[in-house]
């Protein structure tokens, strides 16, 4: 079944809002094994909406619209769809009662224009909207299934997840199940090079590579009659991908590097503290994005000047004088210093030039040293992330989290790039 999602609303075309309904519905359709081929957004304009519907009914078996079901003059989805598919609009009494009751409840008078929200295509399945006034509905015409949903996400999402998906599950049959294999330490093109042959010959499950924010992932997706059969297809494919990629895989179906760290350190009962200079608190922020981080995270220090590095972390003046604040030696002393000051099993120290400026000695912007102290040893990785301040900070934190995982899991640390040379 080929699906198309059509958002109706000038506010989307003006950029006032982003079309999150399309994402929510796409995720749901993929769960049901229904392929989404197109997402379209069009304004509150009946001629253009009608043209978009004419295109959609030729190329899709399922059309889901969002928006344009409200009481105002420019809400024209219902009327336009009814006309396009040759349906009469008839008053749906249960919906009118629900809308009237809604206004009674909030103590406002129901104006006449609200009645039109209860006018629905004759013979449709009504999807009762418990989260707002306009009901959704579904019908079939000339072999095409049409679903109309309200636009506001707080109505669209729950209505789709309940009545909408229940209606569609009956149409679809079968299931689709995915696994996300998360990768840190190689780029998208290297990953794709390694997986190229396997991807070419994989049809079910399929392999889809993605790169985002300095990480990669491979999504393995199986279609099957039922969940058990999908699982049987997935397991060997996931294992094959993990075997090919080796130790750059840091987790399967884990949300992010920080979630992997939280899970690992909580399970092992290890305490962590971090000292940050150029990342300015981003590592601490990302760790504490994970709810329950207090189980393993004791805290951190952002040491944004040399005096504070010395005072709070005990970094030696001679180290700063001889090697500068941006050096392997300083990162090492920061990692060791915070672990000691905060009394933790692991300590991280990050120092670098986030940019836009590099060092006075010619060290380029994006050079960052990351130290990790664990079990009496300290390891330092140097990275060069030349794509701007924000990205350099993000990459430094990704690397710090990767170093924690590798240290605790006993995987070997990646090599550093130090001022152009691999060290």
Cβ proximity to a copy of itself: between 87 and 136 the closer is 136
- Spatial CB neighbours of 262, under 8 Å, sequence gap ≥ 6: 287, 290, 292, 293, 295, 296
SS3 call for 15: coil
For residue 282, the minimal CB distance to a copy of itself (Å) is 5
SS3 call for 44: coil
For residue 123, the minimal CB distance to a copy of itself (Å) is 28
For residue 337, the minimal CB distance to a copy of itself (Å) is 13
Tell me the two tokens of residue 344.
């933790």
Give one DSSP letter per residue of 203-222, joined into a string: -SSEEEEEEETTEEEEEEEE
Cβ proximity to a copy of itself: between 73 and 410 the closer is 73
SS3 call for 404: helix
Say which residue the tokens 């013979």 belong to.
Answer: 123
Cβ proximity to a copy of itself: between 174 and 281 the closer is 281
Cβ proximity to a copy of itself: between 260 and 397 the closer is 397
Cα gap 96→93, rounded to integer Å: 5
For residue 122, the minimal CB distance to a copy of itself (Å) is 25
Cβ proximity to a copy of itself: between 125 and 180 the closer is 180
Q: Which residue, 247, 249, 250, 276, is CA-closest to 263?
A: 250
For residue 130, the minimal CB distance to a copy of itself (Å) is 8
Cβ proximity to a copy of itself: between 87 and 179 the closer is 179
Q: Are 184 and 398 in contact (CB under 8 A)?
A: yes
Cα gap 329→350, rounded to integer Å: 11
For residue 410, the minimal CB distance to a copy of itself (Å) is 26
For residue 291, the minimal CB distance to a copy of itself (Å) is 6
Q: Which residue, 132, 131, 95, is CA-closest to 115?
A: 95
Put residue 159 in one of left, alpha, beta given phi > 0 → left and psi -120 to 50 → alpha.
alpha
Q: Please list the residues that pair with 348 across neighbouring strands.
A: 274, 372
Per-residue DSSP letter, 176? E
Cβ proximity to a copy of itself: between 210 and 239 the closer is 210
């Amino acid at each position: 079944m080929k699906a198309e999602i059509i958002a109706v609303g000038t506010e989307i075309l003006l950029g006032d809002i982003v079309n999150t309904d399309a994402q929510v519905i796409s995720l749901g359709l993929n769960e049901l094994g229904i392929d989404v081929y197109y997402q379209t957004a069009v304004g509150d304009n009946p001629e253009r909406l009608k043209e978009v519907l004419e295109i959609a009914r030729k190329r899709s078996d399922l059309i889901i619209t969002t928006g344009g079901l409200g009481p105002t003059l420019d809400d024209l989805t219902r009327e336009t769809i009814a006309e396009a598919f040759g349906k009469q609009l008839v008053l749906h009494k249960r919906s009118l009662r629900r809308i009237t009751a809604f206004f009674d409840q909030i103590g406002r008078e129901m104006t006449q224009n609200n009645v039109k929200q209860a006018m629905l295509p004759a013979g449709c399945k009504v999807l009762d909207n418990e989260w707002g006034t306009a009901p959704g509905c579904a019908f079939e015409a000339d072999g095409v299934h049409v679903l109309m949903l309200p636009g506001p996400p707080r109505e669209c999402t729950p209505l789709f997840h309940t009545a909408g998906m229940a209606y569609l599950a009956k149409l679809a049959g079968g299931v689709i199940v995915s696994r996300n294999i998360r990768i840190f330490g190689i780029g998208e093109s290297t990953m794709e090079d390694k997986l190229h042959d396997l991807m070419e010959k994989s049809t079910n499950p399929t392999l889809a590579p993605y790169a985002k924010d300095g990480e990669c992932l491979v999504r393995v997706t199986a279609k099957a009659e039922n969940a058990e059969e999908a699982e049987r297809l997935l397991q060997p494919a996931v294992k094959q991908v993990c075997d090919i990629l080796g130790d750059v895989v840091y987790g399967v179906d884990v949300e992010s590097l920080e979630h992997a760290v939280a899970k690992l350190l909580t399970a092992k009962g290890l305490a962590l503290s971090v000292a940050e200079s150029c990342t300015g608190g981003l590592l601490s922020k990302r760790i504490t994005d994970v709810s329950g981080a207090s189980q393993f995270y004791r805290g951190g220090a952002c040491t944004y000047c040399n005096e504070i590095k010395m005072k709070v972390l005990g970094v030696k003046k001679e180290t700063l004088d001889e090697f500068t604040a941006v050096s392997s030696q300083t990162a090492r002393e920061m990692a060791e210093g915070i672990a000691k000051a905060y009394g933790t099993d692991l300590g991280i120290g990050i120092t670098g030039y986030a940019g836009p400026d590099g060092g006075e000695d010619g060290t380029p912007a994006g050079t960052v040293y990351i130290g990790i102290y664990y079990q009496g040893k300290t390891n330092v990785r140097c990275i060069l992330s030349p794509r701007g301040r924000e990205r350099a900070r993000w990459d430094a934190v990704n690397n710090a989290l990767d170093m924690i995982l590798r240290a605790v899991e006993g995987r070997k640390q990646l090599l550093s790039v130090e001022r152009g040379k691999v060290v």
